[in-house]
A and B are shown apart, each in its own frame.
Chain A
Amino acid sequence: MSSMSQLAVVAGAFRYEYRMQIRRVSVWVVLGLLCLLIFGIWSLGGNAELHGYFTSGREGIPVHWVPPDPRSAVLDWVQFLGLFVPLGIGLVLADRLARDKRTRVDELLDTAEGSPSARLTGKFLGSTLATLTPLLIMYFALVAYMVQQTGQFTTIVPLAVAGFAAVLLPAALFVAGFSVTLPLILRVPVYQFLFTGYWFWANLMSPKIGIPSIVGTMLNAAGPWAQEGIFNYNWTFLRLNATPAQGYLSIALLSGLGLAAVLGMGVYLRWQHARR
């Protein structure tokens, strides 16, 4: 099959999957509640960062004025979202491909033209971008509020766009690659349990606990390398001394692994079909 028609398969699967996912009310409810939860955490400090604040006086440290810092307000928003939103996206996406099997359309699709890899890639991109759409709207709703409060459009908006592209997008592609494909071999609830445990273990568990983990490696998908390397902003509990190059490398690594999971599953499916 020519590469042109393979592209048409990707585009077709993408369009269909995007439209199917974006019309699910549950996706909007989950992403909405998630953003509300993260907004709650952000609002504990974010508004003060936006407007400046007086510290509470402690012994040895007199009360003093901390000037407004819209940059921190934006990067905190990115950081808190990065801790939990990929988890939510990964869990929501886990039933997408398994559903084809359950509704028995998978065998029908197998008879159609186009390789499994092309169809998988289209489905992966479509369902991931559709799940990111509600997030994008709510993300920029708070960014608009920050601009309205401070009037600093040129500081806030480019930073917010870069933050989304460098932290949230690669994390979403990474988790989606595995969440779309792995439930083909594991049962969905089993995958969801393992994925929840994985998310805490690999991304959010402080190394101080003393359990071996990949939290300090570049496989950390919650965004510490991009936050520190590219934006020079501290990520909650890790100090990596990351360079900008390492930040960009982490983005490429996470996005690439997500795509590799999809292509790998495509190869596996083709092998499985050949054996049937």
Chain B
Amino acid sequence: MSRFLRREALRYEVRVVGPWLFVLPLFVAVLFAIAAGMMAFKQAQHSDISNMLMAGIEGAVPLVVGIACAAIASREPALELQLALPAQYRVTVLWRLVLLLAWAALIEIAGVAVLALAFPWALHRAGSGYLLTWLAPLLWCGGIGALLALLLRNRAAAIALLGVAWVFELVFHGLMASYGWTQALDLFATMFSAAASFWLANRLELIGLGVLFLLATWFYLRNTEWRLRGEDA
């Protein structure tokens, strides 16, 4: 474990994965902060500003993390070399995914902290909502992005499914909140149904599914030679 935590090792992994992939969630967070700032400047209603911020925290940052996880799981310029190294390739991939998820979590925590301290009205749920609003969709999107990229052996196809699912849930949010089994998959439960009784169950189910997807990714990568068949390898 310690060999991963050395500073040079961290810097090396970020460089291999691509620093731009780590810039992406930050860029998205800043984009939404600017949009909300502009709305405040134009004296938009608090509820509209709050929705914009929630769309960033609960929606856009997790989406971009899912896209980045699909990229991490599917791209490895030196795959043949990786497979020949004593260090297991799956450990390397999981470590990169964890790095990205942790980085995105830091961005989310910073965003929520600023809002909770300065603009508490902007958050749809306090208390456990400070954590679960973003953690649940973040893990779900990240997990499914990585797993789909491996299963479909193609990054673009994986991101297509993730992107369509994301927009579908955003458009049909009323539908997602109205059936028992769709409630479990509702990525935007805090934005649209913060007061609903299923909110906590929904968050825990999303986290459970996200962890399950990451576990499945881990087990898929046990058969390292499967990776050689990927279109993006």
Q: Distance (Å) between the CB of A135 and the closest chain B CB?
A: 13
Minimal beta-carbon separation of B230 from chain A (angstroms): 10
CB-CB < 8 A to B83: which residues of A? none
Q: Are B24 and A30 in contact (CB under 8 A)?
A: no
Residues of B within 8 A of A34 (CB): 164
List B contacts of A261 (CB < 8 A): none
Interface of A is mostly: helix
B67 near A192 with CB under 8 A, answer: yes
CB distance A37 to B168 under 8 Å?
yes
Distance in angstroms between the alpha carbons of A212 and B70 in the assembled complex: 31
Stretch at the interface among A164-172, A197-205, A268-276: A197-205
* In the assembled complex, B89 has its CB within 8 A of some CB on chain A: no
The number of residues on chain B lying at the interface, defined by a beta carbon within 8 Å of a beta carbon of chain A, is 37
Nearest-neighbour CB distance to chain A for B183, whole angstroms, equals 16
Inter-chain CA distance A43–B156, complex, in Å, is 29
Give the contact-size bracket for chain A.
20 to 34
B147 within 8 A of A: no
In the assembled complex, which residues on chain B have CB atoms less than 8 Å from the CB atom of A200?
167, 170-171
Q: Mark A10-50, 1 if CB is under 8 A from B, else 0.
A: 00000000000000111101100110010001000000000
Inter-chain pairs besides A88-B164, A93-B156, A210-B44, 5 sampled, C-beta below 8 Å: A34-B164, A189-B21, A193-B67, A196-B166, A196-B167
Interface residues of A (CB under 8 A from B): 24-27, 29-30, 33-34, 37, 41, 83-84, 87-88, 91-95, 187-190, 192-193, 195-197, 199-200, 204, 209-211
A-B contact pairs, 27 of them (CB 8 A): A26-B153, A26-B231, A29-B157, A33-B161, A34-B164, A41-B172, A87-B160, A87-B163, A91-B160, A91-B164, A92-B157, A95-B232, A187-B20, A188-B155, A188-B156, A189-B68, A189-B159, A190-B24, A192-B159, A192-B160, A192-B163, A193-B24, A193-B64, A199-B163, A200-B167, A204-B170, A210-B45
B interface residues, Cβ below 8 angstroms from A? 20-21, 24, 28, 39, 44-45, 48, 51-52, 60, 63-64, 67-68, 70-71, 152-157, 159-161, 163-164, 166-168, 170-172, 175, 231-232
